Amino acid sequence: MSKETINQKTGEIQKEVKLIEHGNYIFATLDGVDCVGSGVMTTNSGQRNTYSASVKLKFIIKEQFLKDINGIKIPTLKANSVIIRIPCEDSQLVTLVKKYNDKLNQDLLIKYSLTDGQTVNVVDESEILSIN
């Protein structure tokens, strides 16, 4: 569930997101959509590897931070790209590509899963929030 408001001082759109379950989430702008049909890849040694169909969503994650240059803090915008892969059947490719093409340049909240025991690096420890 999300709610949009406009900051009266800056005119920026602010989005408030309410999460009610634990999980891993990416909140980012959808920048591109690609797809791959299932197939078989043959290596130079003749080994055949099958791969499944998938839709790939490219996101731009924007982060604003203060950069210290000679004691002066300058607001800076950093952008990273992340690709989220959605496994699917070949028959679903056209529908999913159309669905996400219609969402280009929109902010999306995506829940994703990590494998058990996977390690994730924290970029800035000071941004860890306690939620009551």
Most confident of 64-68, 95-99, 108-112, 114-118: 95-99
List, for residues 32-73, the tens digit of each pLDDT value: 999 999 999 888 888 999 999 999 999 988 888 788 889 888
Joined tokens for residue 45 = 């040694």
pLDDT for position 1: 47
Span 18-41, pLDDT tens digits: 777 888 888 888 999 999 999 998
Give the model's pLDDT for residue 99.
Answer: 97
Cα dist from 102 to 33, 56, 107, 108, whole Å: 10, 14, 12, 12
Q: How far apart are CA 41 and CA 4, in angstroms?
A: 46
Instruction: Give me the pLDDT at residue 36, please.
Output: 95
